[in-house]
């Protein structure tokens, strides 16, 4: 495959942009190559600037649930653009989108729009701290909630010790307020609450983790978070930036039958535009300014184009009543074909899947948390990624990400993907032997 133009474009970008990209994973460092520069995308396909076509399983890291350049969304954005790009004043689409979110997610009465998932989780933490008058946040190792200071904290040396900053530039003092626990470990969560429950402002969690690869919640894990936060007067923040409107009309919470106190969104609710949101019960959300004392604001928040795109995407999802069943079938097909191709070739893998989120882990062990995810063979993943892309299958360039299915993926796309997967497994087998 000729990707010379992308190579040149990347060299040029590196002169003017740190590492040549505006978000680190895009640099393809984990897979030992350079990124493809994308010229356009339509439906399930993306096209790079060298003219290569790929079946896209990244979907802009999740937002493109209906596929690229979906007419109902591009039309809504075009119409909105003709009426002005930004007002910095209220517009009706903000209320419409907020109202639709409250109708779909039962534990939400009130929603505040922001511009990214990072802004949503950062604001949710401030709200939780303002509402409870406490400082400590509990997060789980391997969950990613954006790049705000309180959340760029990695685990400390023991399960119940405070973490340390995972990025330069984050004051170590921030780590004093963030307790990082193993995902799916009800015991360590219970111990943490027994020890300091009255100081914990909130527990934030990806209800299905997607940022260490896909890791579903163990039986009782989300229920334990719900029970302990309620018992100790802390808040349960469900970070549904990735899973919101992807796993069910009411996200992962709907799928598992759980209510949270604050829910954060991004990705799908923007239809491909930069949007985030956080919402919850009225008494909590009334703490947000200008109703309450927790300050949070945004020049472009509730931008009319972004609202139009998000609203169009959610309305389209709501009209298409069996969309989740259809995507579930596609996911189940890929999961079972991936498993059998790997087995046929004697390649140890674990395929974790919840609905349209799938990860193929190169390991012999069940992947249930960050420790087990980290034990995967990333060299083998690298080979797998590069061979798949050579066959026109565009996957996330890291072992620790999800593959995202969309409504636009056709049976033929999936068959081609399964065919490529089988070929790649037999290549890996030859190299291993
Ligand atoms: C679960 C989760 N929360 C928060 C974020 C941050 O969102 P953004 O990249 O829009 O800032 C992400 C991004 O991937 C995410 O997956």
Predicted local distance difference test score (pLDDT) of residue 65: 98
Take residue 37 and report the two structure tokens written for it. 């520069």
Given the candidates 3.90.1580.10, 3.90.550.10, 3.40.640.10, 3.40.190.10, the CATH classification of the domain at 71-319 is 3.40.640.10
DSSP annotation of 238 reads E
CB 64 within 8 Å of CB 55: no
Position 401 scores a pLDDT of 96
394 Cβ closer than 6 Å to some ligand 1 atom: no
Ramachandran class of 62: left when φ > 0, alpha when ψ lies in -120 to 50, beta otherwise? left
Residue 156 in this model has a pLDDT that exceeds 80: no
The pLDDT of residue 321 = 86
pLDDT of residue 311: 98
What is the arithmetic mean of pLDDT over 158-173? Answer: 82
Question: What is the reported pTM?
Answer: 0.97
Task: With CA atoms as reference, report the closest residue to 385 among 413, 355, 427, 350.
Answer: 427
Burial of residue 40 (number of CB atoms within 10 Å: 0-12, 13-18, 19+): exposed
Residue located nearest, by CA, to atom 16 of ligand 1: 242
Closest residue CA from atom 8 of ligand 1: 117
Q: Is a pLDDT exceeding 80 seen at residue 287?
A: yes
pLDDT at 8: 98
Give domain limits for the chain.
4-69+321-432, 71-319
For residue 383, the tally of other CB atoms under 10 A from its CB is 18
Q: Six-digit token pair at 269?
A: 């609710």
Show the CA angle centred on residue 418, arms to residues 214 and 350, nearest 5°: 35
Residues contacting 116, CB < 8 A, separation 6+: 146, 266, 274, 275, 276
**Residue 188 structure tokens:** 């360590």
The first and second tokens of residue 167, run together, are 């990025």
DSSP 213: B
Give the phi and the psi of residue 276 in degrees, each rounded to 5: -140, 170
- The predicted structure's pLDDT at residue 157: 65
Which pLDDT score, from 0 to 100, does residue 431 have?
A: 87
- CA atoms 405, 42, 398, 333: torsion sign: positive
The pLDDT value given to residue 163: 81
The sign of the CA dihedral 309, 213, 251, 44 is: positive
Report the chain's C-alpha Rg in angstroms: 21
Tokens 């882990």 sit on residue: 361
The pLDDT value recorded for residue 75 is 98
Output the residue whose Cα is nearest ligand 1's atom 3: 145
Q: Is the pLDDT of residue 405 over 90?
A: yes
Model confidence band, residue 162 (pLDDT cutoffs 50, 70, 90): confident
Find the mean pLDDT for residues 53-77: 98
Q: What is the pLDDT of residues 77-89, one digit of tens each?
A: 999 999 999 999 9
For 266-272, what is the mean pLDDT? 98
Query: Which of the residue ranges 128-142, 168-182, 286-300 would you say has the lowest mean pLDDT?
Result: 168-182
- Confidence (pLDDT) at 174: 86
The dihedrals phi and psi of 144, each to the nearest 5 degrees, come to -115, 135
Q: What is the pLDDT of residues 205-215, one digit of tens each?
A: 999 999 999 99
Catalytic residues: 144, 239, 267
Q: Is the CB–ligand 1 distance for residue 117 below 6 Å?
A: yes
Is the bond into 290 cis (omega within 30 degrees of 0)?
yes
Residue 422 CA to residue 412 CA, distance in Å, equals 15
Model confidence at 161: pLDDT above 70: no
**Per-residue exposure over 173-190, b if at least 16 CB sit within 10 Å of its own CB, e if not:** ebbebbbbbbbbbbebbe
Q: Above 80 in pLDDT, residue 160?
A: no
Determine whether the shortest distance from the Cβ of 144 to ligand 1 is under 6 A.
yes
Q: What is the mean pLDDT of the chain?
A: 96
pLDDT digits (tens, 9 = 90+) for 376-390: 999 999 999 999 999
pLDDT, tens digit, 9 for 90 and up, residues 104-139: 999 999 999 999 999 999 999 999 999 999 999 999
The size of the chain, in residues, is: 433
Mutation pick for ligand 1 pocket among 25, 116, 118 (CB with most ligand atoms within 8 Å)? 118
**The pLDDT of residue 158:** 60
Band the pLDDT of 225: cuts 50, 70, 90. very high
Ligand 1: atom nearest CA of 276 is: 10
Percentage of residues of the chain with pLDDT beyond 90: 94
Domain 4-69+321-432, CATH class in plain words: alpha beta
Structure tokens at 41: 């995308």
Average confidence (pLDDT) over 56-79: 98
Beta bridge partners of 48: 38
pLDDT score at 369: 97
In short, whether 116's Cβ falls inside 6 Å of ligand 1 is yes
Measure 147 CA to ligand 1 centroid, in angstroms. 8
| Nearest Cα to Cα of residue 67 among 41, 93, 44, 47 | 44
Report pLDDT digits (tens) over 310-360.
999 999 999 998 999 999 999 999 999 999 999 999 999 999 999 999 999
pLDDT at 159: 53
Instruction: Please give the Cα distance from 7 to 14 (Å, whole number).
Output: 11
Contact 324/268 with Cβ under 8 angstroms?
no
Nearest-CA residue for atom 9 of ligand 1: 117
């Amino acid at each position: 495959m000729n990707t010379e133009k992308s190579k040149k474009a990347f060299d040029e970008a590196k002169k003017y942009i740190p590492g040549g990209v505006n978000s680190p994973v895009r640099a393809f460092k984990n897979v030992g190559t350079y990124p493809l520069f994308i010229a356009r995308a339509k439906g399930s396909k993306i096209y790079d600037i060298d003219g290569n076509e790929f079946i896209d399983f990244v979907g802009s890291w999740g937002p493109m649930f209906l596929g690229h350049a979906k007419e109902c969304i591009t039309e809504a954005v075009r119409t909105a653009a003709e009426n002005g790009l930004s007002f910095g004043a209220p517009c009706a689409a903000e209320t419409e989108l907020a109202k639709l979110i409250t109708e779909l997610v039962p534990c939400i009465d009130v929603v505040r729009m922001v511009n990214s998932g990072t802004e949503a989780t950062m604001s949710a933490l401030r709200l939780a701290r303002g509402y409870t008058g406490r400082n400590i946040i509990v997060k789980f190792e391997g969950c990613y909630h954006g790049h705000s200071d309180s959340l760029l904290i990695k685990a400390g040396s023991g399960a119940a010790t405070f973490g340390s900053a995972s990025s330069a530039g984050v004051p170590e003092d921030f780590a004093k307020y963030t307790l990082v626990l193993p995902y799916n470990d009800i015991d360590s969560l219970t111990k943490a609450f027994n020890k300091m429950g009255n100081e914990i402002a909130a527990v934030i969690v990806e209800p299905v983790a997607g940022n260490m690869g896909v890791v579903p919640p163990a039986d009782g894990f989300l229920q334990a978070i719900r029970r302990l936060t309620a018992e100790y007067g802390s808040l349960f923040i469900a970070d549904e930036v990735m899973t919101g409107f992807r796993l069910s009309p009411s996200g992962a919470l709907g799928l598992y039958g759980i209510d949270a106190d604050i829910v954060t969104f991004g990705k799908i609710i923007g239809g491909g535009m930069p949007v985030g949101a956080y919402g919850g019960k009225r008494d909590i959300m009334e703490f947000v300014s200008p109703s309450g004392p927790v300050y949070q604001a945004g020049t472009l928040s509730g931008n009319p184009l972004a609202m139009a795109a998000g609203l169009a995407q959610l309305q389209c999802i709501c009209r298409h009543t069996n969309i989740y069943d259809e995507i579930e079938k596609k996911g189940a097909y890929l999961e079972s074909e991936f498993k059998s191709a790997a087995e046929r070739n004697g390649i140890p893998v674990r395929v974790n899947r919840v609905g349209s989120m799938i990860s193929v882990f190169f390991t012999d062990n069940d992947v249930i948390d960050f420790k087990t995810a980290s034990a995967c063979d990333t060299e083998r993943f690298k080979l797998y990624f590069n061979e798949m892309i050579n066959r026109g299958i565009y996957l996330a360039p890291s072992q620790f990400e999800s593959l995202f299915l969309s409504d636009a993926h056709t049976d033929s796309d999936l068959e081609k993907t399964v065919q490529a997967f089988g070929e790649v497994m037999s290549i890996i087998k030859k190299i291993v032997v």
